[in-house]
Amino acid sequence: MSQGLFGTRIIAAPMAGGTSTTRFIEAVHRSGGVGFLAAGYKTVEAMSAEVQAAQAAGIRFGMNVFVPDPRQLNPSPGDLARLEQYRDSLRVDAGRYGVDVPQLTLGDDDGWQGKIDELLLNPPELVSFAFGLPEADVVTKFRRAGAMVLATVTSRDEAEFAADRGVDALVVQHPSAGAHSGAFLADSARSGTGARSGAPSTTAELVREVRAAVGLPLVAAGAISDAAAVKSVLAAGAEAAQVGTALLRTDESGARQLHKDALGADRFTETRPTRAFTGRYARALVNDFVRDHEDAPVGYPAIHHLTAPIRAAAAAAGDAERLNLWAGTGWRSARPGPVAGVMGQLLAEG
């Protein structure tokens, strides 16, 4: 089977919050894939150090950057009132662990400009964007610096919008994918997953829909947990498959052990998109926190900051019921063990 544009048919998804470490993406590279580091939630200095470490290791890799949403960084009076109400509702959860709910943090753009400037000075081979699109001049600068630019999209409309920005390739994310949805246009983001009336029911169907609309190379993401799923999206027109949950339980993954264990626990029986943890829809195992906060409002990353002490305390207490257990719909296929073993299964020709 052809290795395509990326030199492999398996790309490890960028998993922010400590999962996608340099050790992890090096293991992916040594096993025949390409891994992405995640700039999200890191300082510019920490991101730069990871880039340098990966470059020193002599591996192929990419860096993913969150695009800030001005609408959420500057909430309307009504949205601000809803955020304050949600903050009050979190006091019960915080009280379980004896921690405080912090004041609202607004306007946090995750060091956007500093990260762009730093990556342009020392660009990795691949740079991807999620939660929105960079301006066209940013795309041009990265391309001139020698980096391939990828944009995360969840629908045909988003794909066409991204193609007009001049990106090199698209990560086509289906609603079945774990963790945050990359949806950014209003019609797609309303559900937080890109779901809409008549939406493709599988990742392969979404790839075919986008393939018919744009001529860019595509990377498929969402519920890709075995070799059969990889073959399905490649047959639909993708150049490669992006996997996250399938690699989350591996030895080299930087995810919390509590999270890894939860993916294999019988007590968790479904996943659901939720705004409860961060204010932006993300697919997670359904635990008590998800059930208790089904009405969580929009507000990223303000809610991320509000729930951070609760999540940290839950992790320290070994309480998986109030931890953000990101997982795609194929989570049951995730297995512990070395990255090499999982990659071998995903790359199997069959």
d(CA 239, CA 171): 10
Per-residue DSSP letter, 16: T
Strand partners, 151: 129, 170
If one compares 245 and 1, the residue with the highest pLDDT of the two is 245
d(CA 117, CA 35): 22
Q: Which of 178, 150, 172, 168 is nearest to 64 (CA)?
A: 150
Over range 328-338, report the average pLDDT. Answer: 97
State the residue for tokens 């007590």.
267
Are the C-beta atoms of 230 and 207 separated by less than 8 Å? no
In Å, how far are 15, 29, 125, 343 from 64, measured between CA atoms?
A: 9, 16, 11, 21
Over range 1-22, report the average pLDDT. Answer: 88
d(CA 20, CA 254): 6
Are the C-beta atoms of 10 and 240 separated by less than 8 Å? yes
- Residue 88 — pLDDT band, cuts 50, 70, 90? very high
d(CA 317, CA 245): 24
Quote the crossing angle between the two packed helices 44-56 and 22-30, to the nearest 10°: 30
pLDDT tops 80 at residue 189:
no
In Å, how far are 12, 95, 289, 322 from 311, measured between CA atoms?
A: 25, 12, 10, 6
171: which 2 tokens? 């990560």
240 Cβ neighbours under 8 A, 6+ residues apart: 4, 5, 6, 8, 9, 10, 11, 34, 219, 220, 234
pLDDT tops 60 at residue 195:
no
d(CA 22, CA 12): 12
pLDDT tens sequence across 202-253: 999 999 999 999 999 999 999 999 999 999 999 999 999 999 999 999 999 9
Per-domain residue ranges for the chain?
1-68+109-254+334-350, 70-108+269-324
- % of residues, the chain, pLDDT over 90: 93
- % of residues, the chain, pLDDT over 70: 95
Q: Is the pTM of this model over 0.85?
A: yes
Looking at residue 248, its pLDDT comes to: 98
State the residue for tokens 């309480």.
319
Looking at residue 302, its pLDDT comes to: 98
- Residue 46 — pLDDT band, cuts 50, 70, 90? very high
- Residue 199 — pLDDT band, cuts 50, 70, 90? confident
Strand partners, 31: none
Phi, psi of 112 (to 5 degrees): -50, -60
Q: Which of 151, 166, 63 is nearest to 115 (CA)?
A: 63
Greatest Cα pair distance in the chain: 56
Looking at residue 197, its pLDDT comes to: 54
pLDDT tens sequence across 126-167: 999 999 999 999 999 999 999 999 999 999 999 999 999 999
Q: Which of 178, 172, 127 is nearest to 153 (CA)?
A: 172
Over range 312-337, report the average pLDDT. Answer: 98
Over range 190-211, report the average pLDDT. Answer: 78
Over range 302-323, report the average pLDDT. Answer: 98
> Domain 1-68+109-254+334-350, what architecture?
Alpha-Beta Barrel (3.20)
- Residue 186 — pLDDT band, cuts 50, 70, 90? confident
How far, rounded to the nearest angstrom, does the alpha carbon of residue 33 sit from its chain's CA centroid?
18
Amino acid at 235: A
| Helix H or strand E encompassing 187 | helix 186-189
pLDDT tops 60 at residue 2:
no
Looking at residue 192, its pLDDT comes to: 53
